[in-house]
Chain A
């Protein structure tokens, strides 16, 4: 698995190069990587279906207990097949979609990198590994949504998706850490066996909520659903792949995966069913008022994700079976419809609105055939796989009358959207001025394979049920689940409900103009939606940042110094008071006359510095303070420090003298009040530092670290000068960091002095 995954990542990295070398066959060459994965996965079906997961593990970071652990069980297999299979079709489609576009290589790189990350999410067996791949999918999604980076709407949408999913990712990370702590292991396969331990754990509820927030943001659940329709700014192959069939299902995957560990509680059912049902209905209802092809599909995706969460929340064997079936059905019809929508827009010169399209059946017969198959599957018409999924689903919620009603409403909306995307653009009269061609060959594979799949799968329900759905459902439920899918399950309650749904759907399809008008009137409500809340929070954060930059970063040196030293005084002062460190002033060594003399000299020099009328004199007096300091160092046996202090003082005087050239004439411009506050600040700094030094004298560690250095300096480090040995050997890494900082500071100073803005560019 690791090998195949690495191949996918390598394919991603090499995509721009491949595109440059042979632009005509980029897709055909790169499709090898996901195809290899797909074939390998197909071969694993019998093994996994018999309940033998494939595992693989490599040591990565031993000290963090981090392993590259992978595990392929029924659930992973279902997802991985969809990801690699649809991924292969998308790559071929991209070839045609971006034909002749120099950016194709970049797009291929992003989308293959995404595919590899997504495969990582579903195959990883280590929680941290899952999280790393999870974040990688958010990141690649950001790059893909913002692919047309010259379009401000795309940039905004990319940022929004990124912020929402990454914020959720942070919650998820906290949840994962708590989860691993509670379960005592990072391995997913072990965690899911400790459901009873976790249920009884005191952190159960926080874990559940944190993980749910992570999953809900990723899978666009209410109230985080708003980013997904906005993400339709991405090029269509990305929308079809990430934002319908794969990435947005990562949240569903995670919750399904953790179902054995965190499910089986009232809280689980309550949170998941409530949020899932709200999202399901909200998405379906909001889809009714859309007329842009991709947005119609996006809202039904939100709705479908809600349905999956809802079914997972109930958590019976029936609903779990329904989730697994629905994931499969949804991936097929939704990806197909997206690809066709992209094809229509691509071949009609950028038309996106359903209501401005019509009569394309003659110009685009292949697309029409595929669209029809997928649209009917989406609506849940027999004999399509969507119908099978809808039946299983209705059987699963049979015991919940409210959910049946919800399903009928949602299902009707799916019928409408299925018609609106699958039939509307192709039937009727072609509006004037609309020109269209059939999509090129490379773009036909995807819609054709997926559209036919919607139809063909329905006739292999038994095999699909046994080989794919049953292992997946077994993995979600963590116990043997029998799955027998039927195209025709008999004339039962579910079938009747299904018929009612279809009739309602067809009914509202013909009332669509009325619905659109109603939606236009309700658009005012958007002002109070979560999208607006997001905007408010984002603007607020930026305003706060601007405000506090204005206050703290005045651009005046003395203000910076004030803020810095006062912060230090407060922090050190509070710590000192709390530690009570300045109560014992005994045990101080007596002050000798020579030290007293130096001290007096220093103090007088300080006064001279402050009171001097000339700048040069000030600096020279300050130099006197520094030289006295050096003398004190020699008194106390620190020749290294004394020497350094001497050179530094000399250089300071030289530097300041040089800086004089550039300063305006010296004047005592500061007012009395400023000087008064300066005195207070300066003396508080002095007092704090003095107290700190005195307090430090009384800190005794059992064995001072200096003993270690003295003992080992010559023995281990061949050096008698302990100070130097510490700098270049024991703490060499610190020194390396310091000299790096020094070098960067010098470059910064150089830039400030040398690179002045040209006239008219602002700044002083």
Chain B
């Protein structure tokens, strides 16, 4: 798969895909989206990269081993359950903070978002672990 057309379009498609996946992740709490589908999107972006260039290139673009990403994601999801324990709530109870923004208004920040970020990384890591392994094997 060394189509020049695919390579060129991937070069332009890749950054918007990643940005879009983060957008999906962040809007998930109010609109369609979320960590799962966001992670899948990011994963397919890297899969596309691996198809049009090579798995080795995709690994370089990712910088981290996908298995490490999985582990980090799991850890983030797990840790997001800890804060409510301090206010005598059950593990993983949603806890929210209101962060005032510099230009007025407040931003709702909560542990569910952190949890969703964990899901995002787990899905991304799992997907790429399998895709890369399949693509590399000779």
Give A residues with C-beta under 8 Å from B.
639-640, 643-644, 647-648, 650-651, 654-655, 658-659, 661-662, 716-721, 723-725, 727-729, 732-733, 735-736, 739-740, 742-743, 745-747, 749-750, 753-754
Shortest Cβ-Cβ A-B pairs, 4 listed: A746-B126, A639-B32, A719-B29, A720-B30
Q: Are B112 and A719 in contact (CB under 8 A)?
A: yes
Interface size on B, residues (CB 8 A): 49
Number of A-B contacts (CB under 8 A): 143
How far apart are the CA atoms of A718 and B112 in the complex, in Å? 10
* In the complex with contacts A728-B112, A739-B118, A746-B125 CB distance below 8 A: yes
How far apart are the CA atoms of A721 and B67 in the complex, in Å? 30
Q: Are B34 and A658 in contact (CB under 8 A)?
A: no
* In the complex with contacts A718-B110, A739-B77, A753-B122 CB distance below 8 A: no
Please classify the interface of chain A as helix (H, G, I), strand (E, B), loop, or mixed, using the class held by over half of its residues: helix
CB neighbours (8 Å) of A739 from chain B are: 73-74, 77, 118-119, 122-123
How far apart are the CA atoms of A725 and B32 in the complex, in Å? 11
CB neighbours (8 Å) of B29 from chain A are: 718-721, 724-725, 728
How far apart are the CA atoms of A390 and B135 in the complex, in Å? 81
Q: Are B77 and A724 in contact (CB under 8 A)?
A: no
* In the complex with contacts A647-B37, A728-B34, A736-B81, A749-B127 CB distance below 8 A: no
* Minimum C-beta distance from B20 to chain A (A): 11
Q: Are B34 and A721 in contact (CB under 8 A)?
A: yes
* Minimum C-beta distance from B115 to chain A (A): 5
Per-residue interface assignment for chain B, residues 97 to 138, with 1 indicating a CB less than 8 Å from any chain A CB and 0 otherwise: 000000000001010110110110011011101110111010
Q: Are A736 and B92 in contact (CB under 8 A)?
A: yes
How far apart are the CA atoms of A186 and B70 in the complex, in Å? 45
Q: Are B33 and A640 in contact (CB under 8 A)?
A: yes
CB neighbours (8 Å) of B108 from chain A are: 718
CB neighbours (8 Å) of B44 from chain A are: 647, 650-651, 654
CB neighbours (8 Å) of B118 from chain A are: 739
CB neighbours (8 Å) of B92 from chain A are: 732-733, 736
Q: Are A729 and B94 in contact (CB under 8 A)?
A: yes
* Minimum C-beta distance from B129 to chain A (A): 4
How far apart are the CA atoms of A648 and B24 in the complex, in Å? 15
How far apart are the CA atoms of A732 and B72 in the complex, in Å? 17
CB neighbours (8 Å) of A654 from chain B are: 44, 47, 51, 131
Which of chain A's residues has its CB closest to B115's CB?
A: A728
* In the complex with contacts A658-B134, A736-B77, A736-B92, A750-B33 CB distance below 8 A: no
* Minimum C-beta distance from A741 to chain B (A): 10
CB neighbours (8 Å) of B19 from chain A are: none
B71 within 8 A of A: yes
Residue among A640, A659, A739 facing the most chain B CB atoms (10 A cut-off):
A739
* Minimum C-beta distance from B96 to chain A (A): 6
Residue among B29, B67, B137 facing the most chain A CB atoms (10 A cut-off):
B29
* Minimum C-beta distance from A560 to chain B (A): 19
* Minimum C-beta distance from B46 to chain A (A): 11
Which of chain A's residues has its CB closest to B29's CB?
A: A719
* Minimum C-beta distance from B93 to chain A (A): 8
How far apart are the CA atoms of A327 and B1 in the complex, in Å? 83
In the assembled complex, 13 residue pairs joining A and B whose CB atoms fall closer than 8 Å, in A order, are: A644-B36, A718-B96, A719-B30, A721-B29, A724-B116, A732-B115, A736-B115, A743-B73, A746-B67, A747-B70, A747-B129, A750-B133, A753-B133
Residue among A648, A723, A728, A736 facing the most chain B CB atoms (10 A cut-off):
A728
Per-residue interface assignment for chain B, residues 49 to 81, with 1 indicating a CB less than 8 Å from any chain A CB and 0 otherwise: 001000000000000000100110110011001
A sample of 20 more A-B contacts (CB under 8 A), given A658-B131, A716-B94, is A640-B37, A643-B24, A647-B37, A650-B44, A651-B40, A654-B51, A655-B134, A658-B134, A718-B108, A719-B29, A719-B112, A720-B30, A724-B116, A727-B119, A729-B112, A733-B91, A739-B123, A745-B126, A746-B67, A750-B133
